[in-house]
Amino acid sequence: MQMKVMDTTGKSAGRVKLPDKIFAAQASPKLLAQAVRVYLANQRQGTVKVKRRGEVKGSGRKIWRQKGTGRARHGDRYAPIFVGGGIAHGPTGSQRHKLKLSKVMRRKALFAALTQKTGAKELIIVDGLEKLEPKTKVMYRAVTKVTSKAPKKLSIILPDGTDSVIRGARNIKGVKLLSAKRLNAFEVLNAGMIILMKSAVKPIEERFLEKKPKTTEHKQATKKKPERKKAPAPSGKAKKTRTKTARKTRK
């Protein structure tokens, strides 16, 4: 897949080849919805808590006598039925919202999200951002020229070691910086307009496509251990010894 590359002035700077497995992938909308749901659920801390009836501070005195008033019988005024009382069946502060998604499904969802952004023309490849002066004013001018109009929401996907881009773009309103090696489907879908640095294409391929070769230490650890030979059984049978227990007699 070929895609146009722009420089920091908004002019064409050639073309770059993108992997079809990442930027031209197919996935069902259900998978994208599931990936978003899992990501948002895992962001929840689950520490919200309410006070139960026994945790509300106050007197435990019975509010009126049991019989003779014509009213319903009650104990103290901190029952869940009263205003200011405890909360029944509320969160306890120990609830867990963690969900899991397999590695293969996470990658497929990410590829589908990048494909969707590419098809909607919301992904721009830019070369030369790392050569700019690390100033907010300079970076803002470059972003405005590349996108033709400064969008309200913009994300820049950058590789590791581009501190000048981070310092120049981190103070621009509405701009979010994403690492090329830590992308996920939710951040891509929620990114708005995306500027993909040309130097970040290769790290994305290495992180999400190429398999890491196994080291020699790993190969040695996975080798089968030699089976131990069992010692031959003794020819003579060992005599079983029994201990005699004395019986206590009752007088």
- 70-128 pLDDT, tens digit each: 999 999 999 999 999 999 999 999 889 999 999 999 999 999 999 999 999 999 999 99
Residue 9 domain flag? yes
Among residues 26, 28, 22, which one has the least CA distance to residue 3? 22
Residue 10 confidence (pLDDT): 87
Q: Which amino acid is at 49?
A: K
Where are the strands (E) in the chain, listed by range? 2-6, 12-17, 123-126, 154-158, 175-179, 193-197
Residue 91 domain flag? no
* pTM metric for this prediction: 0.75
Residue 152 confidence (pLDDT): 85
Of residues 232 and 135, the one with the higher pLDDT is 135
Residue 221 confidence (pLDDT): 58
Residue 162 domain flag? yes
Residue 124 domain flag? yes
1 pLDDT more than 90: no
231 pLDDT more than 80: no
SS3 for 112-153, per residue? HHHHHHHHCCCEEEECCHHHCCCCHHHHHHHHHHHHCCCCCC
Q: Which amino acid is at 14?
A: G
Residue 54 domain flag? no
Number of domains in the chain: 1
- 194-228 pLDDT, tens digit each: 999 999 999 999 999 866 565 666 556 566 666 66
CATH classification at residue 189: 3.40.1370.10
Residue 147 domain flag? yes
Residue 251 confidence (pLDDT): 46
138 pLDDT more than 70: yes
- 22-69 pLDDT, tens digit each: 999 988 899 999 999 999 999 999 899 999 999 999 999 999 999 999
Give the residue numbers spanning the domain of 171. 2-44+99-208
Residue 60 domain flag? no
Residue 30 domain flag? yes
